[in-house]
Amino acid sequence: MQHTKILHLVILATALFSLLLVSATYSGYIYAQNSQTKFRAKLDSNNEVPPVNSTAEGVATFKLKNNTVNTKINITGITDLSGAQILSGKKGENGQPIVDLLKKVQKTKTSGGVAVEGSFTASDFEGAMKGKALSALQSAMGTNETYVNIKTKDHPDGEIRGQIKPKGSSSPTQ
């Protein structure tokens, strides 16, 4: 009888230890997923849905710091933007706007293009993301569920676009 009690205690202790180990490992994994703070999108006219005929291209970068997202967008082949947004949607899908990237920015004309620098917070969210925390956008950006769309007068629905992914991601170029 004593031997059975000891065996049950060993099994119970092992089970509890296993649960603690799995819990600690999983929480570390979640932290690592959500700790990504730098994101990038390569902008190209072939990424538009449907694709458009344009030689414009660009890169948008995003850095999360202290509940703020700092943005930098460098574009060649376009000198006057009529819109720049982050939208929800996977590659090949058109989605709903999440944030207007031209609200709080400084635009600078460059030789053959434009540079846009700015920032936004969760209070700037719109659509389905309105009222959510910055971590919700961070998670969507980390799983390629968002994209940047640049609009012009010639292409009011979008001239160049690119999926947002973690900076340094080894996934293929969009």
35 pLDDT tier (thresholds 50, 70, 90): low
Predicted pLDDT of residue 114: 96
Tens digit of pLDDT for each residue in 110-164? 989 999 999 999 999 999 999 999 999 999 999 999 999 999 999 999 999 999 9
What per-residue confidence (pLDDT) applies to 127? 93
Residue 171, phi then psi, degrees to nearest 5: -70, 155
Copy the structure tokens of residue 115: 């540079």
What is the rounded distance in angstroms from the CA atom of residue 103 to the CA atom of residue 86? 12
* Packing angle of the helix pair 134-142, 2-34 (nearest 10 deg): 90
pLDDT of 174 above 80: no
- The mean per-residue pLDDT over the stretch 86-114 comes to 94
Q: Is 97 exposed, middle or buried (0-12, 13-18, 19+ CB in 10 A)?
A: middle
On the question of pLDDT at 12 being above 80, the answer is no
pLDDT digits (tens, 9 = 90+) for 40-62: 999 999 999 999 999 999 999 99
- pLDDT at position 10: 61
pLDDT classification of 1: cutoffs 50, 70, 90: low
pTM recorded for the entire structure: 0.77
Residues 61 and 38 sit within 8 Å (Cβ to Cβ): yes
**pLDDT at res. 117:** 97
- 57-65 vs 160-163, strand pairing mode: unpaired
Q: Count CA atoms within 13 Å of residue 57 on its CB side.
A: 5
Q: In which band, very low, low, confident or very high, does the pLDDT at 18 lie, cut at 50, 70 and 90?
A: low
Look at residue 93 and tell me whether its pLDDT is greater than 70: yes
Residue environment code for 39-68, b if the CB has 16+ CB neighbours within 10 A, otherwise e: bbbbbbbebbbeebebebbbebbbebeeee
Amino acid, single-letter form, for residue 68: T
